[in-house]
């Protein structure tokens, strides 16, 4: 009888322990879910209430005004003008959805550029292959080819190095001085490329026009490619065999092109220098251990193979037995490398341009 009683007590204790653990899991998920909602409310502008598109443009443009001053760019990230936003969006979508793009050709262009880089470094011992500079020039060359049809072989290597170096310098200067003056050297070097406007071979683009199109692609690409390459091929070599699966997803998860989204406040207080902008930390969303597990900082593309490809929050769990579904939905909600609607980056659209470009360049470099 004593043995039976002990067995029953043990079974009850184990059952209560499982229920307690399930309850604790749901409490942690609820806390994480609430935090994700708060972060997304900044990304989708709902923190500011029900505002129209021109209001959303203003909330985004104000924190990005330093880039307008430093680089002279006029695009959807820096303008509060609805007509200017629509005109840029139309041009950008025309580039992204161009029907004559060949990804095989794009890959070969990337591959040939890197072959030249390696050959030049091998022929000149005094000129080592500087990885960060090489990848910046590599990404810019591919973007110029894809956007403007410019053959990288026709661009002097020093022009690429100057443009990418000046963009980086101006970006950093703008963080310290929002009213930093534009770089005459950057404008002069871009003008020397003599870039033709997309879909209009009779029109040549000025530096501001060209940078307005180049920056959303080049600046968001090179860091992702650099850090994904270093992680997948060097820091975590065991992940190399897995790199063919979801490389872009995991690269963009660990190294999002935009680390933080900034929005100004819709109240008069937004003009005060003491009022910080509202922030959505994409880096934190993509690396939170309660959402992605204890290996959240590891490069493991296979984690996306099990992630349910459903739109958050179209499905929700309704009990402790649905914890795995809840966690997958939470991961889906937290993964926003292209921000979220209503101003989601068009590179993250149905064509998958952003992911395909990251994959093309990562494997081209690898």
- Residue 113 inside a domain? The answer is yes
Which pLDDT score is estimated for 190? 96
Give the pLDDT score at 318. Answer: 46
Task: State residue 142's pLDDT score.
Answer: 95
Establish if 15 belongs to a structural domain: no
CB 256 within 8 A of CB 337: yes
Q: Is residue 21 part of a domain?
A: no
* Cβ(73)–Cβ(88) below 8 Å: no
Q: What is the model's pLDDT at position 303? A: 85
Q: Which residues pair with 278 in a beta bridge?
A: 263
Phi, psi of 15 (to 5 degrees): -65, -45
Supply the CATH number for residue 215's domain: 1.10.630
Calculated CA dihedral for residues 140, 146, 152, 155, nearest 10 degrees:
-70
Q: At what angle do helices 353-365 and 131-148 cross, to 10 degrees?
A: 130
Q: What pLDDT sits at residue 21? A: 59
In a domain, 90, yes or no: yes
328-364 exposure pattern, b = at least 16 Cβ within 10 A, e = fewer = bbbbbbbbbbbbbeebebbbbeeeebbbebbbbbbeb
In 3D space, the residue among 237, 234, 146 whose CA is nearest the CA of residue 195 turns out to be 146
Query: What is the structure's pLDDT at 327?
Result: 83
Look at residue 151 in the predicted model and tell me its pLDDT.
93
- Confidence at residue 320, expressed as pLDDT on a 0 to 100 scale: 41
Distance CA 11, CA 2 (A): 14
Residue 6 within a domain? no
Domain holding 169, by residue range, is 27-365
Q: Kindly state the DSSP code that residue 5 receives in the 8-state scheme.
A: H
The total of structural domains in the chain comes to 1
**One digit per residue, pLDDT tens: the chain, 366 residues?**
666 556 566 655 556 556 655 555 666 788 899 999 999 999 999 999 988 999 999 999 998 998 899 999 989 999 999 999 999 999 999 888 888 889 999 999 999 999 998 888 887 776 777 889 999 999 999 999 999 999 999 999 999 999 999 999 999 999 888 889 999 999 999 999 999 888 777 888 999 999 999 999 999 899 999 998 888 777 776 666 666 557 888 899 999 989 999 999 887 554 455 578 899 999 999 999 999 999 999 998 888 877 655 454 544 444 444 667 788 889 999 999 999 999 999 888 777 888 889 888 887 665
- Give the pLDDT score at 35: 93
What pLDDT score does 319 carry? Answer: 45
Query: Is 247 part of a structural domain of the chain?
Result: yes
β-pair partners for 280: 261
Beta partners for 281?
A: 260
Does 310 fall in a domain? yes
d(CA 316, CA 323): 10
DSSP 180: P
Residue at 241 is within a domain? yes
């Amino acid at each position: 009888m004593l043995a039976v009683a002990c067995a029953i007590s043990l079974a009850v204790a184990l059952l209560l322990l499982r229920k307690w653990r399930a309850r604790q899991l749901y409490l942690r998920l609820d806390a994480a879910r609430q935090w994700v909602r708060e972060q997304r409310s900044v990304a989708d502008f709902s923190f500011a209430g029900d505002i129209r598109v021109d209001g959303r443009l203003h909330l985004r443009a104000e924190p990005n005004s330093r880039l307008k001053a430093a680089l002279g760019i006029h695009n959807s990230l820096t303008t509060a003008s609805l007509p200017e936003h629509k005109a840029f969006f139309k041009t950008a979508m025309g580039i992204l959805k161009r029907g004559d793009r060949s990804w095989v050709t794009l890959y070969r262009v990337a591959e040939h550029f890197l072959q030249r880089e390696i050959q030049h470094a091998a022929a000149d011992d005094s000129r080592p292959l500087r990885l960060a500079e090489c990848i910046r020039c590599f990404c810019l060359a591919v973007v110029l080819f894809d956007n403007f049809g410019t053959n990288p072989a026709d661009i002097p290597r020093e022009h690429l190095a100057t443009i990418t170096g000046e963009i980086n310098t101006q970006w950093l200067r703008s963080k310290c001085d929002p009213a930093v003056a534009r770089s005459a050297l950057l404008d002069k070097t871009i003008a020397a490329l003599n870039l033709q406007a997309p879909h209009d071979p009779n029109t040549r683009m000025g530096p501001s026009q060209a940078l307005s199109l180049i920056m959303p692609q080049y600046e968001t690409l090179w860091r992702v490619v650099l850090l994904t390459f270093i992680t997948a091929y060097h820091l975590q070599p065991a992940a190399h065999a897995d790199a063919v699966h979801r490389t872009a997803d995991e690269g963009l998860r660990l190294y999002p092109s935009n680390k933080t989204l900034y929005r100004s406040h819709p109240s008069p207080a937004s003009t005060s220098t003491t009022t910080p902008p509202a922030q959505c930390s994409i880096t934190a969303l993509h690396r939170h251990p309660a959402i992605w597990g204890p290996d959240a900082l590891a490069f493991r593309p296979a984690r996306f193979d099990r992630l349910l490809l459903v739109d958050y929050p179209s499905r929700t769990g309704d009990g402790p037995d649905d914890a795995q579904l809840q966690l997958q939905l939470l991961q889906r909600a937290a993964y926003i490398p292209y921000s979220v609607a209503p101003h989601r980056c068009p590179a993250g659209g149905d064509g998958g341009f952003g992911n395909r470009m990251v994959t093309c360049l990562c494997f081209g470099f690898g």
